[in-house]
Amino acid sequence: MSASTEEYLEALYTLTQDNKTATTSKISKRLNITPASVTEMLRKLADGGYVNYSRYQGVTLTAKGYEMAEKMTRKHRLLERFLHDVLKIGNDRVHKEACEMEHALSDTTERAICQTLKSPYKCPDDKKVIPACNLGFSSCEECKQWGDGLEKVGPRKTNVVSLAALKEKQEAKIAFIRGDNKALRRLLDMGLTPGTKVTISRVAPLKGPVEIAVRGSHLALGEKIACNVFVEKPINAGGGG
């Protein structure tokens, strides 16, 4: 897959968040490419089975495309963190640098960065959430203890999405909780064990907490916690099917 295809998928990932449909003009603006070239590329992506595209209805990602797009987005945002936190590169330059580097980033290095930065969850500009990795680990703890060799781990079996991306009334099953052992333990004790069904009861405005119903109780989880709790992706949640 070429770097430019990856860039397209990444752009589509961001543009189709919250079940939105991307349009040619939006993509053209974002990538700074003429609409004609965008249309051309979208046809190619549709042929490859990455997007659903019809001329007047806009673009959505297919399951295959979404997976790919999420992975690239994760690499990009992780790199931004790394460049910013470790190499102290300014906020204005991390995006461009990460764009250049992400296409060459292997899973092994991606994992090493994630571990070094202690499973970060947001970009340096503190707005966009870093998606979960697609490795088949059940927890960051397991990933930390795992030696080299990702072949044996394989990819994650289910698609996951963070609680923060869900809408009110949506129901989902807990897949895993990212990061810090202590918060993980507290959530486990409150009943969020893997496989548990949770329902979003309420989402506070202005990036406020998410209230969930779990095992007959109601919990408010701050945005940071919600971003780190991943559930199996319910139908119609975030991005295209």
Binding site for other proteins (CB under 8 A): 138-139, 141-142, 180, 182-183, 185-191, 193-196, 202, 204-209, 211, 214-225
Q: Which is nearer to other proteins, 97 or 141 (CB)?
A: 141
* Backbone torsion region of residue 206, taken as left when φ is above 0, otherwise alpha when ψ lies between -120 and 50, otherwise beta: left
In whole angstroms, the minimum distance from the beta carbon of 94 to other proteins comes to 19
In whole angstroms, the minimum distance from the beta carbon of 156 to other proteins comes to 12
Q: Which is nearer to other proteins, 38 or 225 (CB)?
A: 225
Q: Which is nearer to other proteins, 97 or 211 (CB)?
A: 211
In whole angstroms, the minimum distance from the beta carbon of 166 to other proteins comes to 17
Instruction: List the one residue out of 190, 210, 186, 208 whose CA is nearest residue 200.
Output: 210
Close Cβ partners of 109 (under 8 Å, ≥ 6 residues apart): none
In whole angstroms, the minimum distance from the beta carbon of 55 to other proteins comes to 37
Give the Cα separation of 69 and 97 in Å (integer).
Answer: 18
Joined together, the tokens standing for residue 131 give 């998606």
CA dihedral 63, 61, 139, 215 (to 10 degrees): -80
Give the Cα separation of 32 and 36 in Å (integer).
Answer: 12
Q: Which is nearer to other proteins, 208 or 241 (CB)?
A: 208
Q: Which is nearer to other proteins, 97 or 180 (CB)?
A: 180
Q: Which is nearer to other proteins, 2 or 217 (CB)?
A: 217
Chain CA centroid to CA 119, Å: 13
In whole angstroms, the minimum distance from the beta carbon of 240 to other proteins comes to 27
Q: Contact 61/16 with Cβ under 8 angstroms?
A: yes
CB atoms within 10 A of CB 54: 9
